[in-house]
Structure 1
Amino acid sequence: MNYRVRKALEADSRAITDVIMAAFGNDEGELISQLVTDLQADPTAQPSLSLVATADNSVVGHILFTSACIRHLDRKVSSSLLAPLAVHPECQGLGIGGQLINEGLRQLGEGDTQLVFVLGHPDYYPRYGFSPAGTRGLDAPYPILPENADAWMVQELQPGVIGSVSGQLVCAETFADPALWQE
């Protein structure tokens, strides 16, 4: 089966919700689905990048990157937050999540995005160039539990940014719930 990654369309909304529900289950899926809807309507999350993976014209994966920044001294460092990533369970393990991540990073890197952050599985995201952010002085909007510190990760899209800036990520108002930051 051939998989294709493209920008999400308004017409993909229902299919994206279906993928999220299948990937995360009922309760968590409903919360994450609502989060995606809220982020897409949140002006503080813009600009955002929403991509889908398709197989035979059916959506089988989705990724969302939303606008964020690090305020360092007198400047803002243009950043994005990757959240969420979902792949339909029948298609997991086929590299679709990686294709979505890589394409998103490529597109963001062509713009002015300097850093991309994710709160995710510390055994998965390093495969795509992410590494712990907190040890580099790049803090999450809310404290991350010490046992989950490695789940808060960053990737540099413009060389020389990491090590020259520090501070706390400022992201969309939709993410202003401390419960969202408990991995």
Structure 2
Amino acid sequence: MKRIVVQRAAPKDAYDIDDLLRTCFAQPAEAMLVKQLAMDGDLVLALIARDEASDAIAGLVALSKMHVAIGGDPAPAVALAPLAVMPDYRRSGVAAALVTAAIEQMRDAGALLMFVLGEPGYYGRFGFSSESAEGFDSPYAGPYFMALELQGGLPCGPRGLADHAPAFAALAETDP
């Protein structure tokens, strides 16, 4: 069994991260998204899973700033995207380790919400639900737009915006 360590990505990992994203996704849009998030200052956290034996990067999860409002007040929130795992490491727990570490770090940092656009059957195991995202004004609203309450509850008041960082708009334009 491969031993994987999850750690914060460092600037020296940029080339390997780009290679991972270009390998894992059919189009280069996700690789460009992560670069743009970093250049815009919207990348909150990038975690990599590294194979201890080979020092290869096995996976990545990125978290970016979101503009979210509850009751008219800003609420600290992040978007989880992208999540990518190299083909040789899939179905080995790498993605789960990355998501779990991201949740723990954002909970410790004081974020109230983490949003994801993904498969409910997968992300539901971490506590994400479409019900937690209901009522937020987002172009991604629907059954695949989910949120996780990180601090055990949300402030009172109507839910308002749930805007992703501007780099996501460019990603949406490149989708076929």
TM-score clears 0.5: yes
| Displaced runs of 4 or more, over 3 A | 162-165
Describe the shift of the 1:33–1:143 C-alpha distance in structure 2 as closer, same or farther (beyond 3 A): closer
Q: Is 1:70–1:76's contact at 8 Å kept on the other side of the alignment?
A: yes
Indicate the larger mover: 129-138 or 71-80.
Answer: 129-138
> Which residue of the partner structure matches residue 119 of structure 1?
117
Q: How does 1:61-76 map to 2 (within 5 A)?
A: 61-76=59-74
1:80 to 78, 81, 93: 78
- Residue type of the partner of 2:148? Q
Give secondary structure in 1 for the equivalent of 2:36: helix
**Partner residue, 1:105:** 103
Checking the alignment, whether the CA contact within 8 Å between 2:33 and 2:171 is kept in structure 1 is no
Q: CA 1:162–1:84 in structure 2 vs 1: closer, same or farther (change >3 Å)? A: farther
Is 1:51 matched with 2:47?
yes
Report deviation, 1:138: 2.2
- Please list the CA deviations of residues 87-121 of structure 1 after superposition, one character each: whole Å capped at 9, or x if unmatched: 00110000100100000110110012000001112
Q: 1:73 to 1:52 in 2, by over 3 A?
A: same
C-alpha deviation, 1:175, in angstroms = 1.9
- In 1, Cα distance between the equivalents of 2:36 and 2:61? 15
Q: Which residue of 1 aligns with 2:91?
A: 93
Matched residue count: 173
CA distance in 1, matches of 2:29, 2:171: 14
Query: Which residue of structure 2 aligns with residue 40 of structure 1?
Result: 38
- Report the TM-score, using the length of structure 2 for normalisation: 0.88
Structure 1 residues 178 and 60: CA distance shift in structure 2, 3 A: closer
Structure 1 counterpart of 2:87, which letter? P
The more displaced of 173-182 and 127-136 is: 173-182
Given residue 68 of structure 1, which amino acid in structure 2 is its aligned partner? M
What is aligned with 1:5? 6
Could you give the per-residue CA deviations for residues 6-51 of structure 1, whole angstroms, max 9, x where no partner exists?
A: 00011111111121122113xx2x11101110011113x15x1100
Q: Which amino acid aligns with 1:89?
A: P
RMSD (CA atoms): 2.3
Give the fraction of aligned pairs with identical amino acids, expressed as a percent: 28
Q: Note if contact 1:119-1:181 (Cα within 8 Å) is conserved in structure 2.
A: no
**For the residues of structure 2 that align with 1:113 and 1:12, how far apart are their CA atoms?**
26
The residue matched to 1:67 in structure 2 has which SS? strand
